[in-house]
Amino acid sequence: MLKKPESTDIFSLFYILPTVFNSDLDRGFSIIDYDLNDELVTREDLEQLHELNVMFKFDLVLNHLSVGSPQFQDLLKKGEKSKYMDFFIDWNKFWHSHGEMGSDGHMVPHDEHLDKLFMRKPGLPILKVRFPDGSDRPYWNTFYQEVFYHEVTAHNLLHALEIEELTYDDAENIAAILNDILNAKGDTSEIDLGEYNHLKKDIISVVEQDRKYLGQMDLNAQSQEVWDFYDETLKKLRAHGGKLVRLDAFAYLHKEPGENNFFNKPGTWDYLARLQKIADKYDLTLLPEIHSEYGSELHEEVAAKNFPIYDFFLPGLVIDALDRGTNRHLLRWIDDLLKKGIKTINMLGCHDGIPVLDLKGVVVDGVSKEGLLSDEEIDAVIENVIARGGRVKNLYGPDGKKISYYQINATFFSALGENEKKLRLARAIQMFMPGIPQVWYLDLFAGKNDYAAADKGGTGGHKEINRTTLTNNDIDQGLKQPIVRDQLEIMKLRNTSPAFDGELTVNNTDEHCLNLTWNHQECMAILSADLRDFSFNITHKENGSDENVMTYS
């Protein structure tokens, strides 16, 4: 696609999701290792992109690794003799002095600690891991997990047990009982084997030895092995041709009893400073990914440390502006960016979802700090997008109760009611915002919600609504569509005009209008838009030449 003439001078950075590496879940975000996935990419592919003057943005998933990683597999195989014994977080060891042992073998943190845990799913964030000695050890698992077993057969039981008194018919009966329990996701420790109960310990041992896992295990950042791994990985990303490195889920990395397990301070800052030193060694720019309420001002703290931030506020603000025909909240955010010198990577849609939690205000020590949108306005955004087919991802408290919407999953085109005029103006607004614009491929092609993929995706299926695979033919046909070509035209101006290297001026207008001007030396670019009927002009003038006016109505 990037080699096509329609893409000439439009893209200068290519954000390749971690499917470029070896992974097994979540479109790459459950990473096994950071070597190139030779089924999808070769070194020659990356070199050809370099010839197009395209730089790469990669992910470093700081908080977790796949259970399929060499480190976790070594732990499963060698147990306490593994060099990676402390590479992951032993839940019971972590909470040893800060909780009570429960009846099912894992520590339950004291209430004052439990109340501070920020959950991504119901229940405690643990996965019980079977060690070679037959013991089960709980390990910290913030995100996805699945435990499964292969079907038990009479042949396998007879071969593993080697008990003369056990006939083939006996083994078949036992296998049938076990498979019924396993298929029902039951607890094998509570199984009743009837006349075979005297063999229960040996039989369960055989079954558990074949336990398999799927999921993402939290890393223990107090281990030097983990920091050696980060150093090795950043070096590898640079060798792959990376320039920008997005720090995925970094805010969960620093964990300490008595502190929140999400962006606790100063620990998180200490970790970021340590990572920055490694990144500097390999000439990489780090982009911490942080979702938090606007009122918490956490994004300002990250920006003040001279890190660029993701503009997770823009998608909801644009939907609000175009749905209600008002520039008020959007202009407030632009004013923030300019006055506070906040550097951003901005977006509309992305691989994940449309954030809404980020727009909220908070109450700190009894003092209310307002959000970019009021709760009522946020609710209206949510209701509108859901009415247009969007789906939601929820957050949970330690009691398993839903506490808030985290994001809405939808293509941005569908979130706008599949209105091409809205999408065209939304893209123009993005291109005139401060920061580096990031464009999700499916939104560029006016992709619609993929309900079949979302339904098929199971637990994480909500994300698949906006991850439709496009074939080369889909791209060829899409490039013929006016909505696609118009977006490319606007994006090309953004990528090539010197005006955007200068300063942004926000011009006074009626509330239903928007007028943004970029100036650099003798070059000028102006966006003049009506947020009610979605018509707009882009005026461009360079080095004394005649004005070029692009009109969209």
Tokens standing for residue 134: 């037959």
Q: Is 248 a catalytic residue?
A: yes
Sheet with 211-218: list strands edge to edge. Answer: 64-66, 211-218, 145-149
Tokens of 97: 């002095």
CA distance 54 to 70: 32
- Write the single-letter amino acid at 74: D
Count Cα neighbours of 368 within 13 Å in the Cβ-side half-sphere. 7
Which of 26, 59, 218, 289 does the annotation list as catalytic? 289
Contact present, 390 and 415 (Cβ < 8 Å): yes
Cβ within 8 Å of residue 264, ≥6 positions away: 254, 255, 256
| Alpha-carbon span 175 to 206, nearest angstrom | 11
Q: How far apart are CA 273 and CA 143, in angstroms?
A: 25
The answer to whether residues 166 and 119 touch, using CB atoms and an 8 Å cutoff, is no
CA dist., res. 276 & res. 254, Å (int): 15
What are the helix (H) ranges across 63-140?
70-78, 91-94, 111-114
Residue 514 CA to residue 518 CA, distance in Å, equals 13
Cβ burial, residue 502 (10 Å; 0-12/13-18/19+): middle
Place of tokens 């080095």: 543
Q: Which of 26, 248, 320, 377 is catalytic?
A: 248
Q: Is 289 assigned a catalytic role?
A: yes
H-state helical runs in 19-69: 43-51
CA 25 to chain centroid: 12
**Which residue numbers are catalytic?**
248, 289
